[in-house]
């Protein structure tokens, strides 16, 4: 197929180009005459494994071959656009794109959580009867609040496959909302379990720290740093195994300590983050040390009601251990290694973690294969593992919007089909907003709430942006280039049972 199309250039101007599909390639010339004269194309895209997606601009769509830059195209009318889309699908490596998954394919069964921008449901896929968690986010609300995390989070999750990390199965958008279909982690949050059972037995702490460490090691091997490890982001599956969720603050393509975004949860910030120096995977191991400490002692080592005082303690005070709760010297040594304030000297590799004498009798291979029984046995009924404030809520069917809706280009995904997507570009933002006290334990402030966990972890809030304004294509530069995340966890566990404020945030957005 060939003909003239408008192409969005890097300077945001639309220019007409002569375009031809042949031999799984999409080639561009300035004119048809140029092509016929034998001139080489000015641009060529490989359609194998290309991602095709529609955008808000009429008669416009986007093509992203593998991980290359997205190209935006526009036809003269809807009919012509459909002809081009059909032709492009034909030359996709699979011969066609997969059958589209929509909201109608899922039946909502239970509200698991909610927040400022949406809800998380337990759903059943109608054709298979399989249960999933479905995160539903309002694009319009996120666009107005300049949210960017859904696309970057989805981009990371689509490439991840690990037994202790939540799996993304589908993502799609319709009726002004984004949807992520994820594993149903039916056992509830580690945070909730700690509310009921902390301080935890040392063997329990070792078991879950080891599962989380395996997940972190996997991420780091793929040059991804997580950056928001805490009990709220660790969720049990139905067998009681721990899974990482909520990748809104994760960063990919980190090959060394070169990330500069100031982000995370205040109590869990590593010293290098507070100093504003480049950071890498060591920040995740610091957070693991803090989480182990909190599981074991039901407190945080550097906590202070005054945020400035708390930051001073993180930077200057050495970790100490309470006398009223017993812990082995091996466990204390491991925590000290993880909480070394110098990231270069900190225990920061999976190999070093596994080799520590604390885990002499733990078979990590059997653990990763899920052949070891988990200490926690969740209730078989997911409704009993989540906050009744949410699970008792009546399911209300979503009404189609009566106005033009915001669209996020390239969000649609199905595991195992076309798995490539661009990440939004970012630029620095203004300073982090002041922390404000939360009105209730699960109240949310300033933003994101329904995370990739099957719990809408409203203890955190985050705001970011990657939505596209109605009537504008989601072109390079079309994203709101700002990221600012704030989540909510401000006190040791005992205090957080009654109030909280502040939380995960992203000050810059690099």
pTM of this structure: 0.66
CB 302 within 8 A of CB 198: no
CB neighbour list of residue 399: distance below 8 Å, 6 or more residues apart: none
448 band by pLDDT with thresholds 50, 70 and 90? very low
Structure tokens at 197: 């059972």
Checking DSSP bridges between strand 463-464 and strand 483-484, what pairing results, if any?
antiparallel
- Give the pLDDT score at 79: 86
Taking residues 284-313, what's their average pLDDT?
95
Q: Taking CA 158 as the corner, what is the angle to CA 464 and CA 272, rounded to the nearest 5 degrees? A: 50
Is 135 labelled a binding residue? yes
Q: Distance between CA atoms of 445 and 462, rounded to whole angstroms?
A: 8
CB 107 within 8 A of CB 395: no
CB neighbour list of residue 207: distance below 8 Å, 6 or more residues apart: 362, 367, 372, 374, 375
- Give the pLDDT score at 122: 96
Annotation says 228 is catalytic: yes
Which has the higher per-residue pLDDT, 255 or 482?
255
Q: Which of 122, 217, 113, 119 is nearest to 160 (CA)?
A: 217
Count CB atoms within 10 A of the CB of residue 324.
6
**Which has the minimum average pLDDT: 40-44, 202-206, 256-260, 345-349?**
256-260
Asked if the model's pLDDT at residue 464 lies above 70, the reply is: no
Burial class of residue 501, CB neighbours in 10 A (0-12, 13-18, 19+) = buried
Q: For residue 47, give the DSSP letter.
A: -
Q: Distance between CA atoms of 498 and 45, rounded to whole angstroms?
A: 56
Q: For residue 446, give the DSSP letter.
A: S
Q: Sign (positive/negative) of CA torsion 443, 446, 449, 452? A: negative
Sheet holding 242-244, edge to edge: 188-189, 234-236, 242-244
417 band by pLDDT with thresholds 50, 70 and 90? low
The one catalytic residue in 140, 183, 228, 237 is 228
pLDDT one-digit tens code per residue, 355-374: 999 999 999 999 999 999 99
- Give the pLDDT score at 423: 32
Domains of the chain: 2-90 (2.30.29.30), 103-185+382-488 (3.30.200.20), 188-368 (1.10.510.10)
- Give the pLDDT score at 126: 93
263 band by pLDDT with thresholds 50, 70 and 90? low
Q: Distance between CA atoms of 363 and 384, rounded to whole angstroms?
A: 32
404 band by pLDDT with thresholds 50, 70 and 90? very low
Asked if the model's pLDDT at residue 93 lies above 60, the reply is: no
Count CB atoms within 10 A of the CB of residue 93.
12
Taking residues 421-444, what's their average pLDDT?
28
Asked if the model's pLDDT at residue 165 lies above 70, the reply is: yes
If residue 291 lies in a helix (H) or strand (E), which one and from where to where? Answer: helix 282-297
């Amino acid at each position: 197929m060939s003909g003239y199309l408008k192409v969005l250039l890097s300077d945001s101007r639309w220019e007409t180009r002569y375009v031809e599909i042949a031999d799984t390639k999409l080639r561009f010339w300035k004119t048809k005459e140029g092509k016929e004269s034998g001139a080489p194309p000015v641009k060529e895209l490989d359609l194998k494994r290309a991602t095709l997606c529609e955008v808000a601009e009429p008669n416009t769509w986007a093509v992203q071959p593998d991980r290359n830059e997205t190209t935006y195209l526009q036809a003269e009318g809807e009919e012509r656009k459909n002809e081009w889309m059909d032709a492009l699908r034909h030359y996709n490596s699979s011969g066609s794109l997969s059958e589209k998954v929509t909201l109608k394919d899922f039946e909502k069964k239970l509200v698991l959580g909610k927040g400022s921008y949406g809800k998380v449901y337990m759903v059943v896929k109608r054709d298979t009867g399989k249960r999933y968690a479905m995160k539903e986010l309002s694009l319009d609300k996120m666009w107005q609040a300049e949210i960017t995390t859904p696309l970057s989070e989805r981009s990371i999750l689509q490439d991840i496959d690990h037994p202790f990390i939540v799996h993304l199965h589908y993502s799609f958008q319709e009726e002004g909302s984004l949807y992520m279909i994820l594993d149903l982690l039916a056992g509830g949050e580690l945070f909730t379990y700690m509310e009921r059972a902390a301080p935890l037995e040392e063997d329990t702490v070792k078991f879950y720290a080891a599962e989380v460490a395996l997940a972190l090691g996997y991420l780091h091997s793929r040059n991804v740093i997580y950056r928001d490890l805490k009990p709220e982001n660790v969720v049990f599956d139905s067998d009681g195994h721990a899974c990482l969720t909520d990748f809104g603050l994760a960063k990919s393509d980190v090959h060394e300590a070169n990330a500069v975004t100031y982000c995370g949860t205040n109590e869990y910030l590593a010293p290098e983050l507070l100093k504003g120096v480049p950071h890498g995977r060591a920040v995740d191991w610091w957070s693991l040390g803090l989480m182990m400490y909190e599981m074991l002692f039901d407190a945080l080592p550097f906590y202070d009601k005054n945020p400035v005082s708390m930051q001073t303690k993180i930077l200057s005070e050495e970790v100490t251990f309470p006398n009223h709760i017993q812990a082995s010297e091996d466990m204390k040594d491991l925590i000290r290694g993880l909480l070394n304030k110098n990231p270069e000297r900190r225990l920061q590799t999976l190999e070093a973690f596994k080799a520590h004498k604390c885990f002499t009798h733990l078979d990590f291979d059997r653990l990763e294969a899920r052949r070891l029984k988990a200490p926690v046995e969740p209730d078989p009924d997911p409704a009993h593992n989540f906050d009744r404030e949410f699970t008792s809520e009546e399911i209300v069917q979503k009404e189609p919007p009566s106005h033009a809706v915001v669209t996020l280009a390239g969000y649609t995904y199905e595991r195992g089909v076309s798995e490539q997507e661009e990440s939004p570009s970012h630029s620095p933002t203004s300073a982090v907003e002041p922390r404000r006290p939360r009105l209730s334990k699960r109240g949310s402030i300033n933003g994101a709430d329904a995370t990739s966990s099957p719990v809408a972890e409203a203890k955190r809030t985050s705001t970011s942006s990657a939505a596209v304004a109605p009537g504008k294509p989601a072109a390079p530069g079309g994203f709101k280039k700002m990221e600012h995340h704030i989540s909510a966890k401000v006190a040791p566990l005992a205090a957080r049972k009654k109030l909280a404020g502040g939380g995960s945030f992203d000050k810059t957005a690099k």
